Amino acid sequence: MRTLSLIIAVIVSAAAVSTAHAAPPAVEFEGQRYTLGFEDHTTLEDGQMGDAIAEFTLPGETVEDWSKLFAFYAYPQMGDDPAAAVEAVGKAVKDANKDANYAISIDEETGEAIIDFLTWQPESDVMEFNVFKYARAEDGRGLIAMQFAQHVTVADTDVEEMRALRVRAVKDMSDMDMEQAQTYFAGKRSQSSADAGDGGKPSVAEAGEDN
């Protein structure tokens, strides 16, 4: 269940897809190490990198089958207001599941914004807890975001455990430095710029048309 992908699709528009291959460092969160499982980005008309994603998973898990997930996102055309971004995510959450609730916090000093929520699919006994943090991109191109998600089985989790998970995850996300995501996407943008300067590389779909 990748609720995140469905929610983000509501907020951002799709473009032609190209795939990158350079693996970033692993992510450490709540004492666990996540390694890159998937990365992708859209390409703008000028050949520059558009919306981008990098998903990290625990050992033995995949982006299609995970208990916990960590991710980086870049939204170069999404404006530069983290507070507006989390409000848009909250609206998308409610549109997808009217019974879901969310909470938002804004750091007045840094402008960073956090949203956390719990959602689920109809008739499913597995819920998905998410916490996102948004910040302005250091190069001024839109926003950068981090996400932590965890699948929670209803029968195995009581209210106190769920509350503890939320408090811990929101605090730890608040403490996370956005520098790793900033650096990761800066490298991807540099590569996209180099590719655009060389006339661009064919996308996976374009390469397939030549075979």
Model confidence pTM above 0.95: no
Q: Which two tokens stand for residue 86?
A: 């989390």
Which residue in this structure is represented by tokens 């996400």? 147
The dihedrals phi and psi of 165, each to the nearest 5 degrees, come to: -60, -45
Fold (CATH) for 25-196: Protein Transport Mog1p; Chain A (3.40.1000)
Closest CA to 39 of 25, 50, 23, 28: 23
Handedness of CA 5, 152, 55, 175 (dihedral sign): positive
CA distance 74 to 184: 10
Residue 136: count of CB within 10 angstroms of its CB: 19
At 104-161, the pLDDT tens digits run 999 999 999 999 999 998 888 899 999 999 999 998 989 999 999 999 998 888 899 9
**46 band by pLDDT with thresholds 50, 70 and 90:** confident
What integer is the mean pLDDT of 92-106? 96
CA distance 79 to 70: 23
Domain boundaries of the chain, sorted by first residue = 25-196
Q: Which two tokens stand for residue 101?
A: 């609730």
Mean pLDDT of all residues in the chain? Answer: 84
Handedness of CA 62, 5, 150, 152 (dihedral sign): negative
CA distance 187 to 67: 29
What integer is the mean pLDDT of 19-48? 82
pLDDT over 50 at 210, yes or no = no
Residue 22, SS3 per DSSP: coil
CA distance 41 to 47: 11
Whats the size of the chain, residue-wise?
A: 211
CA distance 200 to 211: 19
Q: Per DSSP, which regions of 19-111 are E strands?
A: 27-29, 32-43, 49-57, 68-75, 101-106
Residue 60 has a pLDDT of 95
Q: Which two tokens stand for residue 114?
A: 């956090």
**Contact criterion met (CB below 8 Å) for 173 and 97:** no
Residue 204 has a pLDDT of 35
CA distance 103 to 122: 22
